[in-house]
Structure 1
Amino acid sequence: MTAEVLVVGAGPTGMTLANELRLAGVSCVLADRLPRASELSKAGGLQSRTQEAFDQRGLLEPLLATGDYPVTTAHFAGHLLSLVRERHQFPWRSVPQVAVEGFLEKHLAAHGIHVRRNHELVALEQDAEGVTATFADGTAIRSRYLVGADGGRSTVRKLLGAEFPGRPGTETTVAADVRLSAEVPMHTITPEGYRAQVFPLGADAEGRPLHRLALGGPGWSLERDVPVTEDEIRTGLKTVFGDRVDLVELRYARRITNAARQAAQYRHGRVFLAGDAAHVHLPLGAQGMNTGIQDALNLGWKLAAAVRGTASEGLLDSYHEERHPVGAAVLRNVQAQSLLLDDGPDSVAARALFADLVALPEVQHRLDDLLSGMGLRYEMPGSHPLVGLPAHDLGPALRSGRGVLADPEGRFGEIAAAWADRVDRVETGAEARLVRPDGYVAWAGDPAGLAPAIRRWFGAPVG
């Protein structure tokens, strides 16, 4: 076999997954159909939970050191959530997707993993032992497992014939990376329903501010493949802002649709779907990129356990069981936002009512839980209130990508020793907990529950 795991797609999801496999000592090939990295940011920010996860791997600080990525205010359908900015250690930050991809690619290269570009997948076959992937140039790569992280138009998904139910796109919106002549509000909707969203993307090499601009409204929608022109951007800015601002420079632009689809199954034998290959929706709040990165963090350690032969029964299936509901919830909140952003008269009335509701702290906190990932709780055995939630206080202990048994009172040394090849025991933390490599608490509380939990998530003990 050429590799233990083949990852198709070198976006944030695929590269995060490759890094997780690297940490676990699993050989990985990372292939992408594009001849070079994309220069268009499909997403413009990192949510709190993604930043926390990167920090747990020691990646956040060096990523932020690569540019000027300001902390900004999260929003829901254009309504700023100003009351949630101090809720988490890592508030919403404007980090464009190209910066995330560029950083991860360099990080992987420094550890000997280089993206194989110009690799267009054309066929795949799987059997009881592995997967054979064939590329357009005739190259064939054999791996034990394959992950499709190749975007919304996923070739892996199509070759699988995987069900991808949902709603097709009914309209398009312009998304562009631009320099503007003046500052404008982050979210503006005219009485006629024309809308503009403007998010900071840091600065270019000369220190000039860049922004992500989204434009839409009545009669604006064009076919997805129709090129976006500078005149179209200027006309859109004038329609929304009048003479307050003009286009200085158009970097990149594309049309995005409001399609909302999700793969019915994330696992197909030895092949898995992650990121946009598993779920597509209107890009609001960078939820696609952040959800994809979290897919990779959930799947990576489970694949590594399967490769090493330590995975418990059902561990690989738990990827779909845990992440499919998360993707479905993201689609629901994005569709709700899309409705609020619509230009119909009913949507105008709904926006007015929603503006009153979103001023309430409890509403902002609930929406923040939905968007930031910090409110996510996986369904796991155990009644302790921490089980299924992220462990926020064990960042450095999770740097190795292994499981962690926090044992502040030194009570569980014997159990920890039996799983010492997979789980690190640390005498830190607020209370005793078993934490999975992806940072989620798998056990806390009743000592009798530790042994079943560690077997469930980390397999049989040594010997």
Structure 2
Amino acid sequence: MNTDVLVVGAGPTGLMLANELRVAGAAAVLVDKLPQRSTLSKAGGVQSRTQEAFDQRGLLEPLLATGNYPIGTAHFAGLTLPLTRDRHRHPWRSVPQVAIEGFLERHLAAHDIPVRRGHELTGVTQDEDGVTATFATGGVVRSRYLVAADGGRSTVRSLLGAAFPGRPGTVTVVAADVRLSGDDQAMTHTRSEDGNWASVFPLGTDPQGRPLRRLSFGGPGRSLPREVPVTEDEIRDGLRAVFGSRVQLLELRYARRITNAARQAARYRHGRVFLAGDAAHVHLPIGAQGMNTGIQDALNLGWKLGAAVHGWAPEHLLDTYHAERHPVAAAVLRNVQAQSLLMDQQGTRDPDLTAAKDLFAALTQLRDVQYHLDDMVSGMGIRYPMPGTEDHPLVGLPAPDLDFGRARSHELLRSGRGLLIDSAGRFAEVTARRPDRVDRAGQGTGTEPMLIRPDGYVCWAGTPDTLEPALGHWFGEPH
């Protein structure tokens, strides 16, 4: 089989990337070693920027229509940030990973891109023209590019011998999808005096309309090896240690032990092979930042691979994937490590740590602190370097949502092309030289001119004499 891009791994990152390639007009084959889609939710929250990404592709409303996914309040280290609730167009929302995977898989199937399951990768070789992947089934796929979205224990990364530096896990905690009775309706992070703790947040409802919860807990003596099965009795004991008799386990759907390992690939690009999602970065799952970061990896990489496939990508374009996304994940690892420390997941009750957390909790009452932390975990504070136009306050940030009467700007990005906002009608000739890459909109709106990449980030604004260099940098030479 031959294709433009082979995507290995059908989790949220791989599924989103396959859709981005579809939008970009690049042929993709999506494979996964599992014989069927997992029913386990490793994440349960969708941040604001990820929802914007879904909305840019017309996927958000259909996704939310598949279930009851409540809006929650952002938190940092278990401390709620109530002042941030209405800051963004799409507030934090609880959508289980299994719901996202099922929705995206059905969406791709409707566009004739099935997930090819039961295919375990055994070999990857590349040359100057493409990549050859071999599978345990005897199958061979030849592609121009390959993307590893196959998780924290990535086979592709192992076959490449890619460096994956960082810290191994030093502690485990339990994460479980459950139904609970009692005081379990709101997101909570509760700690008992003896150092035991539990976090509960909503996961929507089951098919019978009953509320589901993601429960995490830990404390002194509760860090067991990952391979030790989690039992119902252990979960009941963990609940009792924190809530007493106020909260009871009604049903256990799924449970596993997770570690605080923190690792990041040294390089995201290895010739024609790219690492994305957990294959590129792993950390303790706090705030579903791993899933959200992986989906945004896909958003960043998909249009660039499409440009390379179609032959108009500038030589440096594929290298900007690592340059832009590696610092983002590095910052996520740092904030997760800080949250893990403040949450005292081992239940040490260290008085110095308690003092630091009390001071931090007081600081989070300040509006600007809440806004800063919200930007950090929601993805809305990501600012990419944009050569030549860095000084403009909009450049590098997610584009504002503008109203053009017939459509909003995020809807105009569903073409998978760039978008030039040209309110004064001065740049028709400029965009006419790249009709397959950049659309133009906004005449008569009075909006400041700006150029938006297909992934929704502003890459130029304001100064007319820098527009053509920006177009060339991101969208290649004109026809």
TM range (shorter): over 0.9
Q: How does 1:58-97 map to 2 (within 5 A)?
A: 58-97=58-97
**Equivalent of 2:206, from 199, 204, 207?**
204
Cα contact 1:75–1:81 (8 A) shared by 2: yes
Per the alignment, residue 47 of structure 1 pairs with: 47
Query: Match of 2:247, SS?
Result: coil
Matched with 1:174 is 174
Q: Does 1:377 align with 2:345?
A: no
Q: Is the 8 A contact 1:171 1:258 kept in 2?
A: yes
Q: Secondary structure at the match of 2:141?
A: strand
In structure 1, stretches of 5+ residues that fail to align are none
Write the distance in 2 (CA, Å) between the matches of 1:347 and 1:290. 29
- State the SS of the aligned residue for 1:333: helix
Output the amino acid matched with 1:142: R
Q: Which residue pairs with 2:237 in the alignment?
A: 235
Q: Which residue of 1 aligns with 2:256?
A: 254
- Partner Cα distance (1:457, 1:73) in 2: 36
Per the alignment, residue 467 of structure 2 pairs with 450
Residues 43 and 291, structure 2, Cα contact 8 Å, conserved in 1: yes
CA–CA distance in 1 between the matches of 2:140 and 2:236? 47
SS across alignment from 1:396: helix
Counterpart selection for 1:400 from 415, 424, 430: 415
State the 1:75 CA deviation. 0.7
| Structure 2 Cα separation of the partners of residues 314 and 355 of structure 1 | 44
Q: What is residue 459 of structure 1 aligned with on the other side?
A: 476
Q: For 1:58-457, what aligned pairs fall within 5 Å after superposition?
A: 58-184=58-184, 186-342=188-344, 343-344=347-348, 345=350, 346-381=352-387, 382=389, 383-393=391-401, 394-427=409-442, 430-457=447-474
Q: TM-score of the superposition, structure 2-length normalised?
A: 0.95
- Note the aligned Cα RMSD (angstroms): 1.0
Question: What CA deviation, in whole Å up to 9, does each residue of 1:112-143 have, x standing for no partner?
Answer: 00001111111111111111111111111111
Shift of 1:195: 1.1
Alpha-carbon offset, residue 392 of structure 1: 2.2
One-letter code aligned to 1:303: L
CA distance in 2, matches of 1:396, 1:140: 38
Q: 3-state DSSP class of the match of 2:415?
A: coil
Q: Deviations over 1:331-386 (max 9, x none)?
A: 00000001001133132222211111111111101100100111111011212111
Q: Secondary structure at the match of 1:41?
A: coil
Which whole-Å CA distance do the structure 1 matches of 2:183 and 2:101 have between them?
A: 27
The AA in structure 1 aligned to 2:122 is: V
Q: Give the AA of the match of 1:77.
A: A
Which deviations, in whole Å up to 9, do the C-alpha atoms of 1:262-286 show, x marking residues without a partner? 0000000000000000000000000
1:34 aligns with 2:14: no
Q: Counterpart of 1:330 in 2: which secondary structure?
A: helix
Q: Deviation at 1:389?
A: 0.7
Mapped partners of 1:18, 1:204: distance in 2: 28
Code of the residue aligned with 2:74 in structure 1: it is A
Cα deviation for residue 421 of structure 1 reads 1.1
Query: Equivalents in 1 of 2:34, 2:354: separation in Å?
Result: 41
Determine helix, strand or coil for the equivalent of 1:395: helix
User: Is residue 173–residue 258 contact of structure 2 (8 Å, CA) maintained in 1?
Assistant: yes
Distance in 1 (CA, whole Å) between partners of 2:121 and 2:132 is 11
Alignment identity in percent?
71
CA deviation profile, 1:182-225 (whole Å, cap 9, x unmatched): 23361111122211111100000000000001011111111112
The DSSP-based 3-state class of the residue aligned with 1:420 is coil
Structure 1 CA distance, aligned partners of 2:4 and 2:37? 24
Paired residues of 2:417 and 2:436 also in contact (CA < 8 A): no
Equivalent pair of 1:152/1:278 in contact (CA under 8 Å): yes
Q: Determine if contact 1:398/1:437 at 8 Å carries over to the other structure.
A: yes
Equivalent residue pairs, number: 462
Q: 2: CA distance between counterparts of 1:266 and 1:132? A: 19
Separation in 2 of the partners of 1:191 and 1:326? 36
> Residue 405 of structure 2 aligns with which residue?
none
> Is the 1:341–1:347 contact (alpha carbons within 8 Å) kept by the matching residues of 2?
no
Give secondary structure in 2 for the equivalent of 1:452: helix
1:239-267 alpha-carbon deviations (Å, 9 max, x no partner)? 11111111100001111100000000000
